[in-house]
Structure 1
């Protein structure tokens, strides 16, 4: 085990789901932790060398891809060096002694509200206030000290900020997971790397994307995710962010990617890293 103290940072605050992903990735590693209020702050800190690695959410199994993060990774030229998957178990947290009937204002990241929609549909008289993250929502409720306020957050956040669980497991999807990217300034390919993330664009003509994606099928590479993002200044043209199972050091995978590149107007591999199972 390396004695180097890693400088790692994540979106949100201590007790967030991103914090849990960071703990999973860097378990048993000596580390100096930083927390950032915005996705861009994390990515920029990696690019500028303020931290060695950053942890940001990229996809939720209930609400889909977090498109802003795709744009930021590409804009700042960072690499994907790993991924973690965390089960999301939202709870309604309030001050010790508060009861459900005391609540009229709830703070959460918008994703938290979206993932608990049926619960909040039963409490339409409550004011839902979007906030930076679920963990910072818990922190705010604890700091404000008002019994009418609650937050959507994890049990870890409840423990760290001294809050009580007023309603547990308020999410509607029992198989609710968030995938997180571990980002660094450059690619790192470990022996057990089996997943590739890349960004491409194709000619703006009929069938172009179909023919490009066919390379994965004929090359025997399983595509696990596809996300489109608009190209700035070019209406109705897109970058495609793709996750595919494979190894850059595998000759057949390398050949498939070379063929793919020849068909693209833009092609960039963001990382080849070990996949994480839910």
Structure 2
């Protein structure tokens, strides 16, 4: 199964694909998320895996926009524990590092740690593993990358420091995409997007279709509605499947109220891999 993902071999997206599909995966690393979506939509790849949100840095907004622009279905999700490593050429000392490269999301997740490294320039790059590959290819002796342990092994590099993430509970949620939908069995989740009329109480009325049926909303994200300044699309996830009557009726009621609605798919819900903390106050 050819699986498209953004980045180079050794990226966290590849690890998510392997966790979801195992040895069936034939990795297809690509430069951009746009290319990832295009390859699957045009049939050049069977599946895609994309990051959609991180527990520290928040949502990957661009991927929400791409979901709307392409006719793909969400067919699965993966929750991946993210451990960031500082990786450099073999023989490089920590005090030699003057530049740190990585994807902006990874840099954001390590912001406090990097701020405590005086004299180090932080350089955004298109990929975590791609930063490791670049340092190796260009033999940059004053540089390091933030990436996975797998990336260090894959490119024959050295880990100078581990656990760079500012908070140990660092998780990224990935979505699996396909041209065809799936019928989930067991615990499931559904993702959709909708827009409402710009009138008082509109959002309350639209969300009430779920509350009245005791349907758990697991995520809601607003994005600007193009061509209509200060109006918004709402991306929503809820626990349950469109094959359950109460969920189907809730979405049917929402469709009657909303000015626009599209269901991205129902899919198996990934197990929780983080400990419960009872929502302790910050």
Asked if TM exceeds 0.5, the reply is yes
Instruction: Describe the SS at the equivalent of 1:27.
Output: helix
Q: Cα distance, 1:193 vs. partner? A: 5.7
Equivalent residue number for residue 12 of structure 2: 17
Q: Kindly indicate whether the alpha-carbon contact (under 8 Å) linking 1:193 and 1:272 is maintained by their aligned counterparts in 2.
A: no
Structure-1-length-normalised TM-score:
0.95
Equivalent residue number for residue 64 of structure 2: 70
Instruction: Describe the SS at the equivalent of 2:29.
Output: strand
Equivalent residue number for residue 276 of structure 2: none
Instruction: Describe the SS at the equivalent of 1:98.
Output: coil
Q: Cα distance, 1:43 vs. partner? A: 0.8
Q: Kindly indicate whether the alpha-carbon contact (under 8 Å) linking 2:184 and 2:241 is maintained by their aligned counterparts in 1.
A: no
Equivalent residue number for residue 34 of structure 1: 28
Q: Kindly indicate whether the alpha-carbon contact (under 8 Å) linking 2:34 and 2:66 is maintained by their aligned counterparts in 1.
A: yes
Q: Cα distance, 1:190 vs. partner? A: 2.7
Q: Cα distance, 1:191 vs. partner? A: 2.3
Pick the aligned partner of 1:146 from 136, 140, 146: 140
Pick the aligned partner of 2:197 from 203, 226, 240: 203
Aligned residues: 272
Q: Cα distance, 1:109 vs. partner? A: 0.4
User: Residues 63-212 of structure 1: matches in 2 within 5 Å?
Assistant: 63-192=57-186, 194-212=188-206
Instruction: Describe the SS at the equivalent of 2:23.
Output: coil
Instruction: Describe the SS at the equivalent of 2:194.
Output: strand
Report the Cα distance in structure 2 between the residues aligned to 1:103 and 1:140, rounded to whole angstroms. Answer: 15
Q: Cα distance, 1:253 vs. partner? A: 1.6
Q: Cα distance, 1:124 vs. partner? A: 3.8
Report the Cα distance in structure 1 between the residues aligned to 2:68 and 2:182, rounded to whole angstroms. Answer: 17
Report the Cα distance in structure 1 between the residues aligned to 2:142 and 2:236, rounded to whole angstroms. Answer: 44
Gaps of 5+ in 2: 274-282
Structure-2-length-normalised TM-score:
0.94
Q: Cα distance, 1:186 vs. partner? A: 2.8
Q: Cα distance, 1:196 vs. partner? A: 0.2
Report the Cα distance in structure 1 between the residues aligned to 2:111 and 2:58, rounded to whole angstroms. Answer: 15
Equivalent residue number for residue 245 of structure 1: 239
Equivalent residue number for residue 267 of structure 1: 261
